[in-house]
């Protein structure tokens, strides 16, 4: 199972403000993210991100209709609603998507879940879409925890005049 981490962030590594607002993430970045998740057909979110998603305008949920979405929470009674599915760990999330015939999945936040996957060495590819903004206080791409991942730069794409997308392979045999 190939896992691609796809995240939009400020130049200084922030994926949201401290109050969960993502007002600095542009429409171009949303469109680039949609292209990625539609290519894979399924994605994985952490429970806190799901709580933010629940507050989204309907049109954004319409955009991801048809995508299989697994929410990870240690609370096996957590209510994910009709559109999404629940898994109790990163491994369970991957078992879920694999059992339904997917050979790849997009991990797409938030910070705590990204680190959970990184610690388990489950990430194969990292794509970040960088917004031209510096956010002094916020939620970082990875929650600070102990892990090292070595990366190989695969691609640098200028998505628009203001946005770049960096794509890396995770080098698995590195310590």
Ligand X SMILES: NC(=O)c1ccc[n+]([C@@H]2O[C@H](COP(=O)([O-])OP(=O)(O)OC[C@H]3O[C@@H](n4cnc5c(N)ncnc54)[C@H](OP(=O)(O)O)[C@@H]3O)[C@@H](O)[C@H]2O)c1
Q: Is 26 in the site for ligand X (CB under 6 A)?
A: no
Q: Is 22 in the site for ligand X (CB under 6 A)?
A: yes
Residue with Cβ nearer ligand X (88 or 160): 88
**DSSP strand E in 108-149: where?**
125-131, 138-140
Q: Is 20 in the site for ligand X (CB under 6 A)?
A: yes
Q: Within 90-149, which residues bind ligand X (CB under 6 A)?
A: 90, 108-113, 116, 139, 143
Q: Is 8 in the site for ligand X (CB under 6 A)?
A: yes
Residue with tokens 């680190």: 115
Please give the residue ranges that form the binding site for ligand X (CB under 6 A): 7-9, 15-16, 20, 22, 25, 46-49, 52, 72-75, 78, 88-90, 108-113, 116, 139, 143
């Amino acid at each position: 199972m190939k896992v691609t981490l796809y995240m939009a962030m400020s130049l200084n590594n922030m994926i949201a403000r401290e109050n969960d607002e993502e007002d600095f993430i542009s429409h171009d970045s949303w469109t680039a993210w949609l292209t990625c998740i539609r290519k894979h057909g399924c994605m994985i979110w952490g429970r806190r991100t799901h709580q933010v998603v629940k507050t989204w305008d309907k049109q954004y949920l319409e955009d991801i209709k048809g995508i299989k979405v697994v929410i990870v929470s240690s609370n096996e009674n957590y209510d994910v609603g009709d559109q999404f599915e629940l898994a109790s760990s990163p491994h369970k999330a991957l078992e879920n998507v694999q059992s339904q015939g997917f050979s790849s999945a997009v991990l797409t936040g938030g910070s705590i879940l990204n680190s959970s996957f990184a610690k388990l060495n489950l990430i194969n590819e990292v794509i970040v879409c960088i917004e031209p903004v510096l956010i002094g206080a916020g939620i970082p791409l990875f929650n600070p925890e102990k892990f090292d991942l070595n990366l190989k730069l695969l691609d640098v794409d200028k998505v628009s005049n203001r946005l770049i997308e960096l794509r890396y392979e995770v080098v698995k045999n590195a310590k």
